[in-house]
Structure 1
Amino acid sequence: MLKSIDPVLNADVLYALRSMGHGDDLVLCDTNFPADSVARQTALGKLLRIDNVSAGRAARAILSVLPLDSFVDKPALRMEIVGQPNEIPDVQAEVQKEIDAAEGRSLPLASIERFAFYELAKKSYCVVQTGERRFYGCFIFKKGVIPPDAT
């Protein structure tokens, strides 16, 4: 255990989060996502897991240490529901609340079509699979920067 680090964040996930640079993408996905095959195509090249927690709980842990990119219009994406791109299922609403809490303001998730999501995921830095079993619990977060301390 480490002070001030969410215990949901295991060593492999912490290593990836620390290794990511500004503009790198992290995929947070549910149990139905083709996580292993997509993860093999990412910069990290292997699947990371945060087992036995929901997408919302995993997002809270990740966003406790990962800043979202303030230089882009859409630093957080959600996979659209096939045939219902504007519908927001409960799992996505829960992650939206975690994003807003971490950012201290409303920062709406942008949507991306399912197959476009898969293609973008392959270009990401890493894939983190959760224990989320609800459909469409798939997100992409773009890492931002942490400003220097004021002197």
Structure 2
Amino acid sequence: MLKGIPKIISPEFMKILLEMGHGDEIILADGNFPAASCAANLIRCDGHGVPDVLEAVLKFFPLDTYSNHSVSLMKVVEGDPIVPSIWETYDSVIKKYDDNFDGFEMVERFDFYERAKKAYAIVATSESALYANVILKKGVVTD
């Protein structure tokens, strides 16, 4: 064990975060997401929700300042009455760690799946909220 690393970040998870380079993407996936069938690198984070994982990751993970959107969400399917309140939580968590965050990119469901297949890794959580999937694009460490 090491000091200062949240217990939610397993050794395998930390290794993935360290391996990622500028522009690489990681998906924090809810419990309904087809993580195993989409992932090049699958990290299990069972028993945890996306907000807790997001909070832990952003302590170490710089968001990309060179792209238009460093954080993307799965857009609600047209006609679906769901209004994802979890997105407000994400906004609050991200703004704690990134003063420059200016909003989410909304990605159509099947386009989101295609991006997930190209992502560096997918973190499979037990998040029960619908439309709780989030893509983080890694930035550059400047300090």
What runs of 5+ residues in structure 2 fail to find an aligned partner? none
CA shift for structure 1 position 142? 0.4
Match of 1:25 in 2: 25
Match of 2:62 in 1: 67
TM-score normalized by the length of structure 2: 0.92
Give yes or no for contact 2:84–2:129 (8 Å, CA) kept in 1. Answer: no
Aligned partner of 2:128: which letter? R
2:41 maps to 1:46? yes
RMSD of aligned Cα (Å): 1.7
What runs of 5+ residues in structure 1 fail to find an aligned partner? 40-44
Matched residue SS, 1:62: helix
2:109 maps to 1:114? yes
2:76 maps to 1:81? yes
Counterpart pick for 2:133 among 118, 131, 138:
138
Judged with a 3 Å threshold, the aligned counterparts in structure 2 of structure 1 residues 144 and 14 are, in CA distance, closer, same or farther, namely same
2:89 maps to 1:94? yes
Number of aligned positions between the proteins: 142
Tell me, in whole angstroms, the C-alpha distance in 1 between the residues paired with 2:49 and 2:65: 26
Matched residue SS, 2:16: helix
Matched residue SS, 2:97: helix
Tell me, in whole angstroms, the C-alpha distance in 2 between the residues paired with 1:9 and 1:75: 21
Tell me, in whole angstroms, the C-alpha distance in 1 between the residues paired with 2:117 and 2:10: 23
Judged with a 3 Å threshold, the aligned counterparts in structure 2 of structure 1 residues 139 and 84 are, in CA distance, closer, same or farther, namely farther
CA shift for structure 1 position 104? 3.1
CA shift for structure 1 position 16? 0.3
TM-score normalized by the length of structure 1: 0.87
Identical positions, percent: 35
Aligned partner of 1:29: which letter? A
Aligned partner of 2:126: which letter? G
CA shift for structure 1 position 20? 0.3
2:15 maps to 1:15? yes
Q: List, as ranges, runs of 4+ consecutive aligned residues in structure 1 with deviation greater than 6 Å.
A: none
